[in-house]
């Protein structure tokens, strides 16, 4: 990175500042945390510098900046004044700020200062809370000691236990003075973040910075957490919340909407040091946000992240569901919308998809209807491209569309078998491939849900062809789960048993035509109706699978029993298959 160095003074403290990029473009100031210097941004800055005037600096006590003696000079108001001094020195107008860890903590202090909007145009916060907000959050959780509140508070206390040691006067100095920390630090980041050591740039002053930076903890943690005085801000804020953060739990950011009038939030399946592990992701999200603030207009993917009220567990997520015009697909779409997701509803029956969208609209949700024949590869490819262009890359894909085929395999026609395979198996593989590629390229994780069936592991006469396609979906899903694990994309196979859906009344019976076909359909449909297991119950299991990242989900009691019989007593499963249920 071709940085241009300069110096900025704030009172008696000299701050080492570097600049790059387009001088006349909007200014983006990058603020690092502990134990880093401006080198934290060595992979992010070059991407931002293609469009912006990029500025970074070593905060006081780090790198080439001055390190005043004592703890008092490291109180948050002093750090906020440093940020304002840098902004005033490098640009005539307000600057956009992207900050990480303690850099984010001190920027929160700055944006909650009266008049901050005149100097800070926007703020991208990564892995760093406002300490007053955090202190208030902890007090509220412990003042209402429900099991959930206590669990959340204790989880954060456990994650922050290291800060107690960091505030001691002697122990941390001895600890950090005992080793040559650069190689140890690289190995630590590789272990917790999966980051290649070659991607981690540390300053020559790392050892000294680790000890110097402890004054941030001593000067601020106890006063702010024990005696919080939360302020608010009108500066546009984008929170990138890392759900795998070893130091900060995602729940601590749930109260931010109280204090930020213009807030966007994106939860990411990433760890604490995102600037090292996913620099392109930060650059992309920051660019999108900054350009939206500059232009006054957003994008579909950014608009979805706006926090305007209570958040469901799928808030900010885009879900795509095939076969959403009826049955399990419709109920899943409605349930996802109730939980905050924006939903793309596709179905070969466009009117059915539109009816689902109308039902979601009456709930105050957002949904879109598309026609789709999942057996048409070209149409599926065009659909995925259209969805990405119009709405963004989906976070959740539910490959639900399917058909039934019953009767003897010997009576089935080639056309029936091909259609069954094209829809039930190849359609699922196509949706997984096209949308999976988009998710991997975006790099923000996701979840793919594939509808299999209890038939995948409960062989029975009269359902051989159908069971074969669903067994294929099950094994495809388990294999794909392993393939995509490194990209933080979960894959779930949902295996319902006897569920009352439209697929039952439209199932073809091989070898039957006319009145006989209709009689057999009606008989099976009546049996499924008597069973009384409705699609909304399956939808609830699908939602749980996404939230809990479940691999295989047998749905209905008979499916759960069948799954275990097939695994542990396969001979019994084969004997039971001789009884015809259709």
Structural domains of the chain sorted by starting position, each given as residue range(s) with its CATH number in brackets: 4-303 (3.40.50.1820), 318-576 (3.40.50.720)
The pLDDT of residue 27 is above 80 = yes
For 532-581, where are the alpha helices, taking DSSP H only? Answer: 535-548, 557-568, 570-576
Alpha carbon distances (Å) from 532 to 457, 495, 497, 500, 563 = 22, 17, 12, 7, 21
Task: Encode pLDDT of 139-165 as tens digits.
Answer: 999 889 899 999 999 899 898 888 888
Whole-number pLDDT of residue 196:
79
CA–CA dist 27, 129 (Å, integer): 23
CA–CA dist 228, 77 (Å, integer): 14
- Supply the Cα-derived Rg of the chain in whole angstroms: 28
Going by C-beta distance under 8 Å and a sequence separation of 6 or more, which residues neighbour residue 206? Answer: 35, 181, 182, 185
Going by C-beta distance under 8 Å and a sequence separation of 6 or more, which residues neighbour residue 350? Answer: 325, 369, 370, 371
Residue of higher predicted confidence among 76 and 192: 76
CA nearest to 31, candidates 93, 100, 80? 100
448, 490 Cβ separation under 8 angstroms:
yes
pLDDT class of 493 with cuts at 50, 70, 90? very high
Across all residues in the chain, what is the average pLDDT? 92
The pLDDT of residue 581 is above 60 = no
CA–CA dist 64, 69 (Å, integer): 15
Per-residue pLDDT averaged across 458-480, rounded?
92
Task: Encode pLDDT of 187-244 as tens digits.
Answer: 889 888 888 777 788 899 999 999 999 999 999 999 999 999 999 999 999 999 999 9
CA–CA dist 6, 161 (Å, integer): 38
The pLDDT of residue 462 is above 90 = no
Q: What would the 3-class secondary structure string for 125-191 be?
A: EECCCCHHHHHHHHHHHHHCCCHHHHHHHHHHHHHCCHHHHHCCCCHHHHHHCCCCHHHHHHHHHHH
Whole-number pLDDT of residue 508:
77
Whole-number pLDDT of residue 574:
76
CA–CA dist 354, 1 (Å, integer): 51
The pLDDT of residue 412 is above 70 = yes
| DSSP single-letter state for residue 246 | S
pTM: 0.88
Going by C-beta distance under 8 Å and a sequence separation of 6 or more, which residues neighbour residue 390? Answer: 300, 368
CA–CA dist 464, 476 (Å, integer): 18
Beta bridge partners of 204: none
CA nearest to 356, candidates 380, 332, 339, 340? 332
The pLDDT of residue 37 is above 70 = yes
CA–CA dist 209, 193 (Å, integer): 21
Beta bridge partners of 14: 9
CA atoms within 13 A on the CB side of 461: 9
Strands 367-371 and 342-347: parallel
Strands 4-10 and 13-21: antiparallel
> Percentage of residues in the chain with pLDDT exceeding 70?
95
Whole-number pLDDT of residue 502:
66
Backbone angles phi, psi at 355, to 5 degrees: -65, -40
DSSP E strand stretches across 230-385 = 237-242, 263-268, 318-321, 342-347, 367-371
pLDDT class of 121 with cuts at 50, 70, 90? very high
CA nearest to 99, candidates 206, 227, 235, 212? 235
Backbone angles phi, psi at 30, to 5 degrees: -105, 130
The pLDDT of residue 491 is above 70 = yes
pLDDT class of 186 with cuts at 50, 70, 90? confident
CA nearest to 553, candidates 497, 479, 499, 503? 497
Could you report how far apart the first and last alpha carbons of the chain are, in Å? 69
Stretch among 178-182, 481-485, 536-540, 578-582 having the lowest mean pLDDT: 578-582
Beta bridge partners of 483: none
The pLDDT of residue 372 is above 70 = yes
pLDDT class of 533 with cuts at 50, 70, 90? confident
The pLDDT of residue 137 is above 90 = yes
Name the strand (E) or helix (H) holding 221.
helix 214-226
Active site residues: 466
Q: What are 153's two structure tokens?
A: 């508070």
319, 446 Cβ separation under 8 angstroms:
no
Whole-number pLDDT of residue 504:
64
CA nearest to 116, candidates 87, 90, 74? 87
DSSP E strand stretches across 269-389 = 318-321, 342-347, 367-371
Task: Encode pLDDT of 304-350 as tens digits.
Answer: 999 988 889 999 999 999 999 999 999 999 999 999 999 999 999 99
Going by C-beta distance under 8 Å and a sequence separation of 6 or more, which residues neighbour residue 317? Answer: 304, 336, 340, 341, 342, 395, 396
CA–CA dist 230, 250 (Å, integer): 19
For 345-463, where are the alpha helices, taking DSSP H only? Answer: 350-362, 377-391, 414-421, 427-442
CA angle 488, 489, 490 (to 5 degrees): 115
Query: How many distinct helices (H) and strands (E) make up the chain?
Result: 25, 17
Per-residue pLDDT averaged across 514-541, rounded?
75
Sign of the CA dihedral 494, 500, 505, 511?
A: positive
Sign of the CA dihedral 557, 484, 45, 25?
A: negative
Residue carrying the six token digits 């929160």: 108
Whole-number pLDDT of residue 537:
94
Whole-number pLDDT of residue 528:
67
């Amino acid at each position: 990175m071709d940085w241009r160095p300069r110096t900025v003074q704030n009172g008696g403290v000299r701050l080492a500042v570097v600049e790059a990029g387009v001088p006349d473009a909007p200014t983006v100031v990058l603020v690092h945390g502990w134990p880093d210097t401006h080198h934290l941004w060595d992979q992010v800055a070059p991407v931002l510098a293609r469009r912006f005037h990029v500025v970074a600096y070593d905060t006081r006590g780090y790198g080439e900046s001055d390190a005043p003696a004592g703890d008092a000079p490291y109180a948050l108001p002093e750090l906020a004044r440093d940020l304002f001094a840098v902004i005033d020195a490098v640009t005539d107008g307000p600057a956009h700020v992207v900050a990480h860890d303690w850099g984010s903590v001190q920027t929160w202090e700055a944006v909650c200062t009266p008049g901050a909007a005149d100097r800070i145009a926007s703020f991208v916060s990564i892995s760093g809370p406002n300490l007053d907000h955090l202190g208030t959050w902890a007090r509220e959780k412990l003042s209402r000691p429900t099991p959930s509140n206590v669990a959340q508070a204790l989880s954060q206390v456990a994650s922050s236990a290291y800060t107690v040691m960091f505030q001691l006067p002697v122990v941390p100095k001895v600890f950090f003075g005992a080793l040559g920390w650069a190689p140890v630090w690289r190995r630590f980041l590789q272990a917790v973040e999966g980051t290649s050591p070659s991607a981690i740039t540390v300053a020559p002053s790392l050892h000294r910075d680790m000890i110097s930076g402890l004054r941030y903890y001593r000067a601020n943690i106890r006063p702010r957490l024990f005696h919080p005085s939360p302020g608010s801000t009108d500066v546009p804020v984008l929170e990138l919340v890392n759900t795998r953060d070893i130091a900060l739990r995602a729940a601590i950011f749930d109260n931010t909407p109280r204090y930020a009038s213009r807030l966007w939030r994106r939860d990411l399946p990433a760890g604490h040091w995102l600037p090292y592990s996913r620099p392109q992701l930060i650059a992309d999200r920051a660019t999108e946000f900054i350009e939206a603030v500059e232009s006054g207009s957003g994008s579909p993917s950014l608009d979805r992240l706006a926090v305007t009220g209570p958040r469901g567990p799928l808030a900010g997520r885009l879900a795509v569901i095939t076969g959403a015009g009826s049955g399990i697909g419709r109920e899943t779409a409605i349930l996802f919308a109730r939980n905050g997701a924006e939903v793309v509803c596709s179905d070969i029956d466009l009117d059915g998809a539109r009816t689902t969208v109308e039902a979601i609209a009456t709930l105050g949700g957002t949904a879109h209807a598309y026609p789709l024949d999942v057996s048409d590869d070209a149409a599926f490819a065009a659909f995925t491209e259209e969805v990405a262009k119009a709405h963004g890359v989906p976070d959740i894909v539910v490959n639900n569309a399917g058909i039934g085929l019953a009767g003897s395999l010997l009576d089935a026609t080639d056309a029936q078998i091909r259609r069954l395979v094209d829809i039930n198996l190849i359609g699922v593989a196509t949706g997984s491939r096209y949308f999976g590629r988009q998710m991997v390229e975006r790099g923000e994780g996701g979840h793919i849900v594939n509808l299999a069936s209890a038939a995948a592991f409960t062989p029975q006469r009269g359902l051989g062809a159908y069971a074969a396609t669903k067994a294929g979906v099950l094994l495809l899903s388990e294999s794909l789960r392993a393939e995509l694990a490194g990209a933080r994309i979960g894959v779930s196979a949902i295996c319902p048993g006897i569920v009352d859906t439209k697929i039952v009344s439209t199932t073809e019976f091989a070898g039957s035509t006319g009145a006989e076909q209709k009689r057999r359909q009606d008989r099976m449909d009546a049996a499924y109706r008597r069973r009384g297991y409705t699609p909304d119950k399956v939808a609830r299991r699908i939602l749980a699978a996404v939230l809990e990242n479940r691999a295989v989900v047998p749905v209905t009691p008979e499916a759960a029993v069948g799954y275990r019989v097939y695994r542990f007593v396969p001979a019994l499963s084969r004997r039971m298959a001789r009884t015809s249920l259709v």
